[in-house]
Amino acid sequence: MGRIIDFHAHLGKVIYGYPALTVDKLLKFMDRRGIEKSVILPLVAPEEEDYYYTTEQAVEDCAKHADRLIPFANIDPRRGSNDGAYDFYPVLKEYADMGCRGLGEILANVPANDPRMKALYRACGMLNFPVVFDFRMAIFRTGVPEPAGLPNLEECLREFPGTVFVGHGPAWWAEISADVKQSADNAYPQGKIVPTGRIDYLLEKYPNMYADLSAHSGYNALTRDKDYSKKFMRKHYRKLLFGTDWFVRNEKTLMIDLIRSMKLPEEIEESVFSKNARTLLGI
Ligand SMILES: [Zn+2]
């Protein structure tokens, strides 16, 4: 295809004891896998990883390969104030003027419906910035904690219809099935999917809800029950974004092969691999 857009990629030295993921290394990986462009997500939450990779670094790295790399902005929601009164718009507007086209991924251990998070969504809506989340089960102390059923997220989808929310991570993808049991050893649930999962409901009901397929959470959700996942792809393909979350720790990217192996109509592949991302990014 050669026109694939990776909606979820990273750069920099972020994990202790591992070498930095350099621009050169990422570009070589993209060439190998037929990925034309990658969205670079800064990491700015103190909970994760071991080092920061800032918006300024992303802008600088992407500027050298503007035809291949697209920077997102990232601001920790706890910046500025602790009551939601901080206005994120001026700084995010500055980042937009520097070429950023979205926000995320949010890894702060702050509930999705916290006033500080809502202040971020408000500003992102004004800038047409899609917001990428890493949702984790509430028992974990990193990522955006979401109870079973994703109620906090739904509150925000309703309250901010002009902001695009992109779901990702274990607590998001576990909800492909209706029988979610949140526990420390169940971040990647196995077995047949029980309809109707909450993400099926949210993707269908809210035009501003999207999902990125990256990482083991996305791969696990699409492989645990292959008959169901084909139906899921056919139903929601206009809302799904291919992504890798490729890191120094996970060299394999099985999602491209998995999607192709489903033998879905060309229109669906094109949407998931490229078209949906281009629409959200305005490219
Ligand atoms: Zn990531």
- Other C-beta atoms within 10 Å of 196: how many? 12
Beta pairing partners, 210: 166
CA of 50 to the centre of ligand 1 (A): 14
Residue that is written with structure tokens 């999917």 in the block = 193
The pLDDT value recorded for residue 247 is 77
Distance of CA 186 to the CA centre of its chain: 20
User: How many domains is the chain partitioned into structurally?
Assistant: 1
CA of 103 to the centre of ligand 1 (A): 12
Distance CA 74, CA 63 (A): 17
The pLDDT value recorded for residue 250 is 60
The pLDDT value recorded for residue 1 is 44
Across the chain, which has 283 residues, the per-10-residue mean pLDDT values are 87 92 94 95 94 97 97 96 93 98 97 98 98 94 94 98 98 96 85 96 98 95 96 98 83 86 96 98 96
Which CATH number fits the domain that encloses residue 101?
A: 3.20.20.140
Q: What is the pTM of this model?
A: 0.97
CA of 260 to the centre of ligand 1 (A): 23
CA of 159 to the centre of ligand 1 (A): 26
Which pair of tokens denotes residue 98?
């520097």
CA of 9 to the centre of ligand 1 (A): 6
CA of 247 to the centre of ligand 1 (A): 8
Q: Where are the alpha helices (DSSP H) in the chain?
A: 23-33, 55-63, 89-97, 115-126, 151-159, 170-173, 198-205, 215-223, 226-236, 255-261, 266-270, 276-281
CA of 139 to the centre of ligand 1 (A): 19
CA of 222 to the centre of ligand 1 (A): 18
Half-sphere exposure of 177 (CA within 13 A, CB side): 25
Give the structural domain span for 182: 4-281
Distance CA 71, CA 64 (A): 11
For 147-206, the DSSP string reads -TT-HHHHHHHHH-TTS-EEE-SHHHHGGGSS-----TT-SS--S---SPPHHHHHHHH-
CA of 168 to the centre of ligand 1 (A): 9
CA of 4 to the centre of ligand 1 (A): 18
The pLDDT value recorded for residue 11 is 97
The pLDDT value recorded for residue 246 is 86
CA of 105 to the centre of ligand 1 (A): 6
